[in-house]
């Protein structure tokens, strides 16, 4: 039985195959005219454009199938290599293998998922697993059996591979409409506790609408939210940062002012992340990786890949990475949350996620949208400064992007 380190190294090497395929996909795409998205806060169309179903429709004919085939091919190659490697080891160390076989099912946490395969952390050892065929998706109501973060039982085969036997009940599930069957849900991350929404004071500037989308997404998936405002070293004063976050602190959100440059807020983040599973959200460039490596030196997000995928923008798989923290807990890095967080939400439900708006009484019409109606108490409150104009503004912007019914 090779050491955990050795196994991990081998899996990483095999990851190169997948990376090459991704590179190839990206390369191929660059030769065609691609609609480039410019991620600026003022672009009202962004959200609709990122909506999964829509984005899939703009794929060139056959592109989706072609990518899927390439992906499958890469995985098949991975699995074959793994299997032949396995034979070699079995011959080399039959005694150890036999001993391992007698240990029975082990508990583990899924750290990475690709079609039909996953990597499971079994007491610190990363094991490539298939999923038992009889595990059914139908009863779970989701289109995937295992997701990153799932606690599973694994039967090890003694040669560094395993089979997922069962998935333990989930405490939470971050879901999105399935890419291929949008009426069904796909679990992106299981068992997360909280969401860390990272924004930056400048470069890029704080974008309240995006922040609100994260908060709504978290609320809808029963996750606690923490708001981290990074790059406060670039602000003229702490006061202006605190003032920008005031509507959120007033609502009871935990907020952290941070700077990866000066180290401000890093200890606080460390404390908030310890022992929990945290989904990381935030625009590219706000300083997520800088903050994480300040929290734990050496911890790396796969930024390059993530941003490549986002510019590609039409992906069929959502890359999710689980990063283990030394102090316990883990951080989940997924580019997906901004695009699926609000799927299925209707206009009339939005005010529910703005408690300060929902709390305003006295609109002339009971079903007031607070946008244009005469006698709207919400707009009155905004005019009089009793309600945050910034929050109201993002309410209006988000509402516009939601379906009527």
Residues within the interface to ligand GDP (CB under 6 A):
230-231, 233-234, 259-261, 282, 284-290, 301, 303
> Which CB sits closer to Zn ion, 154 or 363?
363
Tokens describing residue 95: 């005694």
Q: How far is the CB of 261 from ligand GDP (least distance, A)?
A: 4
Residue in 179, 337, 363, 382 binding Zn ion, rule: CB under 5 A? 363
Q: Which of 146, 188, 368, 398 binds Zn ion (CB under 5 A)?
A: 368
By C-beta, is 116 or 355 nearer to Zn ion? 355
261 contacts which partner out of ligand GDP, Zn ion, none, CB within 5 to 8 A by kind?
Answer: ligand GDP
Nearest approach, Cβ of residue 285 and ligand GDP (Å): 5
Per CB under 5 A, 167 contacts Zn ion? no
**What, of Zn ion, ligand GDP, none, does residue 175 touch, CB below 5 to 8 Å by kind?**
none
Rule CB under 5 A: is residue 351 a binding residue for Zn ion?
no
Q: Which long-range contacts (CB under 8 A, 24 or more apart) does 243-250 make?
A: 244/201, 244/206, 244/390, 246/388, 247/356, 247/388, 247/390, 247/391, 248/211, 248/215, 250/356
Q: Is 22 near Zn ion (CB under 5 A)?
A: no
Nearer to ligand GDP, 126 or 260 (CB): 260
Contacts with Zn ion by CB under 5 A: the residue count is 5
Give the nearest distance from C-beta 352 to Zn ion in angstroms.
14
Closer residue to Zn ion, CB minimum distance, 297 or 374:
374
232 binds Zn ion (CB under 5 A): no
Partner whose binding site includes residue 357, from Zn ion, ligand GDP, none (CB under 5 to 8 Å by kind): none
Least distance in angstroms from the C-beta of 233 to ligand GDP: 5
Q: Is 376 in the site for Zn ion (CB under 5 A)?
A: yes
Q: Return the residue of 22, 213, 370, 399 that touches Zn ion, per CB under 5 A.
A: 370
**In this structure, are residues 187 and 144 in contact, taking their beta carbons and an 8 Å threshold?**
yes
Q: Which is nearer to ligand GDP, 144 or 289 (by Cβ)?
A: 289
140 interacts with, out of ligand GDP, Zn ion, none, CB within 5 to 8 A per kind: none
Residues that bind Zn ion (CB under 5 A): 363, 368, 370, 376, 378
């Amino acid at each position: 039985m090779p050491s955990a380190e050795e196994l991990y190294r081998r899996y990483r090497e095999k990851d190169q195959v997948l990376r090459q395929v991704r590179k190839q996909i990206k390369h191929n795409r660059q030769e065609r005219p691609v609609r480039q998205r410019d991620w600026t806060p003022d672009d009202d169309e962004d959200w609709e454009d990122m909506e999964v179903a829509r984005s899939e429709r703009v794929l060139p004919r056959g592109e989706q199938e072609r990518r899927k085939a390439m992906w499958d091919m890469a995985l098949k190659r991975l699995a074959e290599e793994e299997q032949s490697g396995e034979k070699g080891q079995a011959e080399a160390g039959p005694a150890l293998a036999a001993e391992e076989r007698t240990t029975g099912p082990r508990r583990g946490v899924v750290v990475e998922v690709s079609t039909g395969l996953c990597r499971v952390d079994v007491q610190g050892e990363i094991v490539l697993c298939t999923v038992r065929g009889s595990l059914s998706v139908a009863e779970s109501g989701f289109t995937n059996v295992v997701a990153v973060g799932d606690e599973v039982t694994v039967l090890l085969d003694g040669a560094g591979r395993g089979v997922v036997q069962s998935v333990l009940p989930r405490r939470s599930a971050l879901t999105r409409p399935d890419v291929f069957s949008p009426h069904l849900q796909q679990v992106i991350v299981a068992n997360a506790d909280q969401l860390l929404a990272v924004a930056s004071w400048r470069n890029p500037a704080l974008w309240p609408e995006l922040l609100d989308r994260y908060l709504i997404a978290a609320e809808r998936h029963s996750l606690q939210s923490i708001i981290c405002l990074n790059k406060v070293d670039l602000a003229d004063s702490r006061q202006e940062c605190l003032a920008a976050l005031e509507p959120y602190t007033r609502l009871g959100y935990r907020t952290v002012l941070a700077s990866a440059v000066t180290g401000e807020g890093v200890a606080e983040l460390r404390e908030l992340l310890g022992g929990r599973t945290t989904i990381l959200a935030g625009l590219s460039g706000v300083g997520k990786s800088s903050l994480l490596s300040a929290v734990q030196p050496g911890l790396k997000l796969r930024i390059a890949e993530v941003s490549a995928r986002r510019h590609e923008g039409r992906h069929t798989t959502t890359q999710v990475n689980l990063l283990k923290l030394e102090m316990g807990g883990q951080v989940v890095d997924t580019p997906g949350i901004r695009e699926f967080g609000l799927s299925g939400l209707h206009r009339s439900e939005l005010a529910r996620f703005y408690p300060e708006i929902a709390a305003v009484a006295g609109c002339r019409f009971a079903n007031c949208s607070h946008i244009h109606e005469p006698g709207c108490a919400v707009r009155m409150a905004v005019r009089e400064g009793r309600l945050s104009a910034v929050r109201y503004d993002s309410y209006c912007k988000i509402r516009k992007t939601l379906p009527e019914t």
